[in-house]
Chain A
Amino acid sequence: MDKLIDLLSQNARFTNAQLAAMLGRSEQTIKEQIKKLEDDGIIKGYSAILNENLADKNTIIAYIELKVTPERDSGFDDIARTIMMYDEVEAVSLVSSGTYDLSVTVKGKDFKDIALFVAQRLSTIAGVLSTSTHFVLKTYKEKGIFIEDEEIDERDYVAP
């Protein structure tokens, strides 16, 4: 099962026939295994990996570091759940950095758009102690894929 997940993570658009060939299983088996991964909630969805620069010049991404006070019963979960409800928020993770607790990825139209979102929406949430915003200027690699450049095969036609 693991290798199937690995291949789908590389490229979710491999056909069942291709996956079947690559793993030496039948197409029917692949179909069932993918369905099971989806039913079990292991595969949560499929999305395209974009070169945001080319896809939409009016998009900007920022990583926001949030320092928060954990709540008595729910720890960080309630705050994280509040944050993730915003459409502007692409990703939320709890991290073990020591300097901050929640890492939030936000997508916006421009710097000001994001700055306002942080100031008006995130910093005002009860329990949020501080925020630190990092704008993404350029993405080089995402999900194992080179974004700006094609991977170049440097191997030459060497033969005896």
Chain B
Amino acid sequence: MIDYDKLLSGKVKEIKPSGIRKFFDLAASMKGVISLGVGEPDFQTPWAVRKAAINTLEKKRIIYTANAGLASLREEIASYTKDKIGVEYDPKSEVIVTVGGSEAIDISVRALIDPGDEVLIAEPCFVCYAPIVEIMHGVPVPVKTYKEDNFKLKAEAVKEKITDKTKLLILPYPNNPTGAIMTREDLEPIAELLRGTDILILTDEIYSELTYGRKHFSITALEGMKERTIYVNGFSKAFAMTGWRLGYLCAPAPIVKQALKIHQYGIMSSPTVSQYAAIEALTKCDKEVRKMVDEYNVRRRLVVDGFNKMGLECFDPEGAFYVFPSIKSTGMTSEEFCEKLLSEKSVAVVPGNAFGESGEGFVRVSYAYSLKHIIEALRRIEEFVNEHRG
């Protein structure tokens, strides 16, 4: 008998299973669950994009592309990025097309982290950063954000955690799970703190197109930041293209050179059909994106209003498609709240502590659902809250 436990990587075994995963397994095992849990758009990929993929299948050979991605797609990414955040990248040496934003995060961290390096991570946040850092024998250092600050990352909090081992700051805004954004004014103190240091930034801006009322701003655009920043974005959220598995990173050439080695050995090249379709998304889908954002905004307002009215205080999230109401007034922990809500009312939301300790006392609610669905879910949650109010 093989004792697998002895053979498997100790480092990988140490990694905690994802808190979202745990909860989703429970929800998936039940029938008739109304979910506000899923983190992907409910919209169809715009038709122009699907049509471009069909044309590609009909007329082109589906072969590997260049390791870094189709040259024409990289050019469009550079021009789109310049247009959106005002920063110029050289498509030949500073852009890699990746398998979703996820791979971009993975190869960025792997290109930078040596054992013992510390990585500051704004928290609560998406669940993948810390495990990837740990696999590299790095040390994830959460930097907590608070509801009182609208979950914005504060320079003082970052400063407290900086040591001589700090190598990287991960900046995930617009934020999953809180919906918080960082404006130029919010980012300036962080930039000021890092100027003149050797600390790099990984800015995960996958939700950059989904902001409400305010245009997204990237830290990359601030003075002295481009040279120390890896900019990650992708097609999943903005263009409702999750299943196409396509994202990208833009970064200084020396970083791209190393990250590209990992990408080429691990992946070879990103999906070819998706890459051709992505050109269409970047160049022809502005109207569709605006329409989706408009629709999300209507739902966002309804959900925020709903939670505030039922007494679960909810700050006004300006980005992504999540709201992050506080459930502290119920006296339950995040997990208790979610498990009871699921078993008593068959509604699935995700416990806030799945996104880090500072998410305790909150739940993540996705509004990537139809109005009809949202109204019914809110009705059930309100019932639940009323029944549990002592």
Contacts of A107-160 to chain B: CB distance below 8 A: 151, 153, 155-160
Tell whether A22 pairs with B42 under 8 Å between CB atoms, given A157-B25, A160-B102, A160-B128: no
Check A7 for interface membership: any CB of B closer than 8 A.
yes
Which single residue of chain A is at the shortest CB-CB distance from B25? A157
Check B302 for interface membership: any CB of A closer than 8 A.
yes
Instruction: List the A side residues contacting B301 at CB < 8 Å.
Output: 21-24
Q: Decide: A153 and B302 in contact? CB cutoff 8 A.
A: no
Contacts of B6-53 to chain A: CB distance below 8 A: 18, 20-21, 24-25, 27-28, 35, 37-40, 42
Complex Cα gap A158–B245 (Å) = 13
Tell whether A159 pairs with B305 under 8 Å between CB atoms, given A7-B298, A11-B372, A23-B298: no
Residues of A within 8 A of B (CB-CB), count: 18
Check A44 for interface membership: any CB of B closer than 8 A.
no
Contact indicator per residue, chain A 13-37, by CB within 8 Å of chain B (1) or not (0)? 0100010011110000000000000
Instruction: List the B side residues contacting A160 at CB < 8 Å.
Output: 18, 20-21, 102, 126-128
Instruction: List the B side residues contacting A81 at CB < 8 Å.
Output: none
Q: What's the nearest-Cβ distance from chain B to residue A32, in Å? A: 19
Q: Decide: B24 and A22 in contact? CB cutoff 8 A.
A: no
Residues of B within 8 A of A (CB-CB), count: 30
Instruction: List the A side residues contacting B42 at CB < 8 Å.
Output: 153, 155
Check A9 for interface membership: any CB of B closer than 8 A.
no
Q: Which of A18, A153, A157 contacts B24 (CB 8 A)?
A: A157
> What are 30 sample pairs from A and B whose C-beta atoms fall under 8 A apart?
A3-B294, A3-B298, A7-B371, A11-B371, A14-B371, A18-B302, A21-B301, A21-B305, A21-B306, A22-B302, A23-B301, A24-B301, A151-B370, A153-B42, A153-B369, A155-B40, A155-B42, A156-B28, A157-B25, A157-B27, A157-B37, A157-B38, A159-B20, A159-B24, A159-B39, A159-B127, A160-B18, A160-B21, A160-B102, A160-B128
